[in-house]
Chain A
Amino acid sequence: MPSAGTPTAAPRRGGRRMRPSRLLFVLITVGLPMVLYLGLVIWPFLQAIYYSLTNWGGFSSSMDFIGLDNYKAIFSDDVFMKALRNNVILAILVPLVTVVLSFVLATMVTVGGSTTGAVRGLKGSSIYRVVSFFPYTIPAIVIGLIWAQMYDPSKGIVNGLLTHLPFGLGDRFNSFAWLGETATAMPASIFVIVWGFVGFYMVLFVAAIKGIPAELYDAARIDGAGRLRTMFSVTLPMIRETVQTAYIYLGVLALDAFVYMAALNPTGGPDNSTLVMSQDLFKTAFSQGQYGRASAMGVVLAAVTLLFAALVFGVNRLLGGKSDK
């Protein structure tokens, strides 16, 4: 029956050319997001790069193409370089301290309890899980303002407590300006950011640790692994992806850090010791009206951020490759 094949073949041949409904589907699901992405992400990005090569003031329609002059200017500008340096310090310390603290805490509340009996967290630690999440629910600007008050040299609670230290140690904190000294302004600011995020990342890590089969911890304990060994040989490798993600998020946050820094030290701190790039960018664009130059700063910020993410991925792969062997 040679004709039997024809009817089944017909719709297939028709399918080669896209039917209108199918075309519409593709346009909506693939085309629309692509257009939005191009229009709202890629285009502004390219635009910013273009502006960074001009002397545009932001409000006039006149702009001249000046090549890399803006970049030359900001890289020879001590203030911007200091801001860049501060951002790099933040990007190194904030993720490191936050991830380490929240990882240790997460381990303690999930698997760090008694070494006999079933694997469990420390006694009564579930309360801490809730309490430590609180800071994350407070808006960043509020956190900044609260801590600015707490660090206040004469009325702040920090000095209020520290001045009561015994053996004359307390006297040193009389009217000590935490945010007004070049030596302490940056560490004090880092502390605030870390304080705000440890709880959240702890909860994130707790969720990841809960996903590890309990049998694995049983096996580790029978193999003789103590708390530290279990942490490094079981927990960390098992939640490595989560740690990497947390690290990148925190790094991106630290490379911005605008809200915290602006709330704690609006002008960049003593001797610009807490000034960050986004603050400098803001000032350059909106106070000084140098949009071209501010755009160049933005491009540098974006480049540093991408570099940071690439670095974290690279390091993770390198370490992973090592322990895999």
Chain B
Amino acid sequence: MATVTYDEATRVYPGADVASVDKLNIDIQDGEFLVLVGPSGSGKSTALRMLAGLEEVNEGRILIGDRDVTNLSPKDRDVAMVFQNYALYPHMTVADNMGFALKIAGVPKSEIRSRVVEAAKILDLEPFLDRKPKALSGGQRQRVAMGRAIVRSPQVFLMDEPLSNLDAKLRVQTRTQIASLQRRLGVTTVYVTHDQVEAMTMGDRVAVLKDGLLQQLDTPRRMYDHPNNVFVAGFIGSPAMNLLEVPVTEGGVKLGSIVHPVKRDPLAKTGDKVIVGIRPEDLTPASEGGIPVEVDVVEELGADAYVYGRTDVGGESDKQIVARVDGRQVPDKGQTIHFVPKGEGDHLHLFDPESGERLGD
């Protein structure tokens, strides 16, 4: 068990002009579950592979515990990795796959066997120990890949989108299993995913990356309540936050026909326009005034419903708006409803239209 530190870690692929991972700084606590999340090409997998030793570090350092592992080969780092396609050795049985690292390390056969069986028990793999990977289902293969990591009891687990090849139901189920397994074993874990739901549900902390740059590093709650910039605001949360560029007026921002009051300080830092972020659940229908939305689609989820519609706001026409409404009183398609922010606007997020950075708390 150990901490992991990215210290200005940078990776530039040969022949590339820009860094795939640019001066990454993350301190991961001992036993923490950290999720790296971002769209494709954000550098999240590269960052993970740098930690594994499968990708060179051009600048900066990576530490596991107090050891500087920047130039160590993967085998000397004491990390175990679960791959997207599981990377099981097809010619070996499940037991051999799980025990391969121990065999190389020269662990006695009887001990390998007992550790493999122990891990197999945890993962419900005991009946399959003598099978080859091709005789297993996708979910079972995924568990073997997990087992291979567990058996080694490494200092750090690395997981590179381990759930992306599972079907939706199994993914949700396995998500919980992995998270609880990690809590039980208490091994520091770095988990890469492109799925923000996975990131929010599994991680102790979440690191959002975009174009090789760390956008925000926070707990899921804080990430949701306090996105640092427009990108994080739009990326975290499903359905995504509504981001509207609206005019600033005396005492607040102009949302359709009403002026919604906001604190003066944040607005002082921007010009005559500001980007307002409102999550779908923070909008509520009003009898009139506010943002007029023409309903396109209504997604009924039972208790709630999501209204997808268009509005003309702040000079932009046909801007997409999503709002959550009571599942028992859903509007009809084509209807126009007016939405206003809930409460005093505590859940309103303000961003600078130029830099995209958050304004105020």
A77 interface residue (CB < 8 Å to B): no
Interface contact B79-A222, CB-CB below 8 Å: yes
Q: Which of B47-55, B236-244, B328-336 is near enough to bind chain A?
A: B47-55
B100 interface residue (CB < 8 Å to A): yes
B286 interface residue (CB < 8 Å to A): no
Of all chain A residues, which has the CB nearest B75? A224
Q: Which of A212-220, A271-279, A298-306 is near enough to bind chain B?
A: A212-220
Q: Known: A215-B84, A218-B83, A323-B91. Is A225-B54 also a contact (CB below 8 A)?
A: no
Q: Which of B32-40, B66-74, B203-211, B297-305 is near enough to bind chain A?
A: B66-74
**Shortest CB distance A303–B (Å):** 33
B residues in contact with A220, CB < 8 Å: 89, 100
Complex Cα spacing A115 to B75, Å: 9
Interface contact B91-A222, CB-CB below 8 Å: no
A238 interface residue (CB < 8 Å to B): yes
Interface contact A218-B101, CB-CB below 8 Å: no
Of all chain A residues, which has the CB nearest B73? A115
A221 interface residue (CB < 8 Å to B): yes
Complex Cα spacing A119 to B74, Å: 11
Interface contact A215-B87, CB-CB below 8 Å: yes
A residues in contact with B132, CB < 8 Å: 324
**Shortest CB distance A168–B (Å):** 45
> Inter-chain contact count A-B, CB under 8 Å?
83
B261 interface residue (CB < 8 Å to A): no
Interface contact A229-B104, CB-CB below 8 Å: yes
B residues in contact with A234, CB < 8 Å: 89
Q: Known: A219-B81, A222-B81. Is A116-B71 also a contact (CB below 8 A)?
A: yes
Interface contact A116-B104, CB-CB below 8 Å: no
Of all chain B residues, which has the CB nearest A234? B89
Q: How many residues of A contact B (CB 8 A)?
A: 25
Contact of A221 among B73, B88, B91 (CB under 8 A): B73
B residues in contact with A115, CB < 8 Å: 73-75
**Shortest CB distance A112–B (Å):** 14
B residues in contact with A223, CB < 8 Å: 75, 100-101, 104, 148, 152
Complex Cα spacing A119 to B101, Å: 18
Complex Cα spacing A304 to B307, Å: 79
Contact of B75 among A213, A226, A323 (CB under 8 A): A226
A15 interface residue (CB < 8 Å to B): no
A residues in contact with B79, CB < 8 Å: 222
Complex Cα spacing A116 to B74, Å: 7
A288 interface residue (CB < 8 Å to B): no
Q: How many residues of B contact A (CB 8 A)?
A: 30
A237 interface residue (CB < 8 Å to B): yes
**Shortest CB distance A150–B (Å):** 41
Interface contact A225-B75, CB-CB below 8 Å: yes
Contact of B90 among A226, A229, A238 (CB under 8 A): A238
Contact of A224 among B54, B84, B105 (CB under 8 A): B105
Q: Known: A218-B83, A222-B74, A323-B91. Is A117-B104 also a contact (CB below 8 A)?
A: no
Of all chain B residues, which has the CB nearest A116? B73
Of all chain A residues, which has the CB nearest B149? A222
A183 interface residue (CB < 8 Å to B): no
- Interface SS of chain A: helix
Complex Cα spacing A218 to B51, Å: 13
**Shortest CB distance B209–A (Å):** 20
B255 interface residue (CB < 8 Å to A): no
Contact of A116 among B72, B81, B93, B100 (CB under 8 A): B72
Interface contact B54-A221, CB-CB below 8 Å: yes
Q: Known: A215-B84, A218-B81, A219-B87. Is A225-B104 also a contact (CB below 8 A)?
A: yes
Complex Cα spacing A21 to B1, Å: 74
B85 interface residue (CB < 8 Å to A): yes
Complex Cα spacing A39 to B80, Å: 61
Contact of A117 among B56, B90, B152 (CB under 8 A): B56
A68 interface residue (CB < 8 Å to B): no
A residues in contact with B55, CB < 8 Å: 117-118
Q: Which of A79-133 contact B (CB under 8 A)?
A: 115-119
A233 interface residue (CB < 8 Å to B): yes
Complex Cα spacing A219 to B84, Å: 11
A residues in contact with B74, CB < 8 Å: 115-116, 218, 221-222, 224
**Shortest CB distance A314–B (Å):** 19
**Shortest CB distance B262–A (Å):** 49
Interface contact B75-A215, CB-CB below 8 Å: no
Complex Cα spacing A233 to B88, Å: 12
**Shortest CB distance B58–A (Å):** 10
Q: Which of A297-325 contact B (CB under 8 A)?
A: 323-324
Of all chain A residues, which has the CB nearest B71? A116
Of all chain B residues, which has the CB nearest A117? B56
Q: Known: A222-B74, A229-B104. Is A116-B56 also a contact (CB below 8 A)?
A: yes
Contact of A222 among B80, B85, B105 (CB under 8 A): B80
Interface contact B85-A324, CB-CB below 8 Å: no
**Shortest CB distance A82–B (Å):** 42
Complex Cα spacing A317 to B183, Å: 45
**Shortest CB distance B173–A (Å):** 24
Map CB proximity to B onto A198-241 as digits: 1 under 8 Å, 0 otherwise: 00000000000000010110111111111001000110011010
Interface residues of B (CB under 8 A from A): 49, 52-56, 71-75, 79-81, 83-85, 87-91, 93, 100-101, 104-105, 132, 148, 152
What are the 6 A-B residue pairs with the smallest beta carbon separation, nearest first? Answer: A215-B87, A224-B75, A223-B101, A219-B87, A117-B56, A237-B91
Beyond A219-B87, A225-B75, 18 additional pairs, beta carbon < 8 A: A115-B73, A116-B72, A118-B54, A118-B56, A218-B54, A219-B83, A220-B89, A222-B52, A222-B53, A223-B100, A223-B148, A224-B101, A224-B104, A233-B89, A238-B90, A323-B91, A324-B91, A324-B132
Interface residues of A (CB under 8 A from B): 115-119, 213, 215-216, 218-226, 229, 233-234, 237-238, 240, 323-324
